[in-house]
Structure 1
Amino acid sequence: MMIQFVRTALITHPQYDRLLQASVLDENIISFIRTNVKFAGAFLVRNALSEQDTCLLFKRYMRLCEGVNSTVHSLETVLKLSKEFIEHDKLTQEHREVVLAFVRHTIRTCEGDRTVRLVAMLVKKLLRERVLNVEDIAADVKPFTLKYTDNRECTALYQSMINMQNGGGGGGQENMTTSTTTTTTTTKSSSPNSLSTTTTTTSHNPGASATTTTTTVSFALL
């Protein structure tokens, strides 16, 4: 109900006017995002889209998203604002720079597997929605994905960026760090006075087939 109201109410409506007055304070905007992200998204989008030939509100809202202590809500708000500006054909290069600054800040400050995963998902969506270009973010995002090679979303983001840079083709020439798993098993051989040792090494490289090498060595017991 409130979401529909903020989307359609007249600006002169008393309740909407109270919301506008409340939104003058940064802490109220942060509270909106933290407690009701759907409502906040609709409200902030309408206000930001109403600006003419400037992106002051867009910049302000993006900056405030950096201070929200709920990563999910802040990233959702950023994505909502960005997508709406794309759909209304109002996303200028200045807006893109603001989004890019937010991404850079988030990459620098994110901690924990869950946050890393959410940031990687956000960047992938921003690329898919054409909010950002891969050339603009590659220098910042590639080191981030390589730092967290054990995170599935980071691996997917890295490969997606490589594909985009190669025109949507295959896996590209760059590969993420190769991981190797080695297993050694010692068993008695057919001869009662000897043992057999089998070593299996498997190399994993994203975008390529796994390579497995097996070596068996038999030796006599003294």
Structure 2
Amino acid sequence: MKIDRFLQLFVVKEKKFYPLYIEQAANIEAAAKLLVELLQEQDPEKQKALYKDIKEFEHSGDMITAKLYEELNKTFVTPFDREDINLLSGRMDTFLDFIHDAAKRMLMYRPKSVNQLLIAMGQCIVEDARILKDIMNGLEYIQKKPQEINEKCVRIKQIEHDVDDLYEQFMSDVFANEKDAIELVKLKNIGQVLEDATDRAKDVGDIVRGIIIKFA
């Protein structure tokens, strides 16, 4: 057993990480909802406004991540393994970065139309974000509710599989119906980053499941 985990049995655990994770999860959910709005919006000015808001959430997320790392460096006894705090902080930030990247690609590429399957992928990202928010709200009680939190992580994994299927359907549809090669590349790149975003959400879920196993 590692020293910091052994000490956790006897020393009062720091709880300052939990509010930061909750705040980050709320950031992610807000950005994800705006991304779906952006995918559905056709007015260029409204698209710019939505992207600006998403970028602000991404910037706020960077600040929260920096704060998590700062607190980790100052804390001797952590509520769970230091490496897991580090990984969880980084992976949540990466998930938010991918949401921001998808929004940026929408603004840069300005596709002539958005396939409904792209919007469906965006809605899956929102569901991922909502579940992550629930997980972070319960993270402090992970030892008391491991099964409940694990089930949420399993759902995130299922969403990742669902989006893989959506992406395959989307690409099949694009190759069958899009005759403009430039538009095809635009749509492919947007779809790819949306699919990748759900992979990043799964990464977060996998870390949480690892924490559950260590507490078992």
TM-score, L = length of structure 1: 0.26
Higher strand share: 1
Choose between structure 1 and 2: higher helix proportion.
Answer: 2
TM-score normalised by structure 2 residue count: 0.26
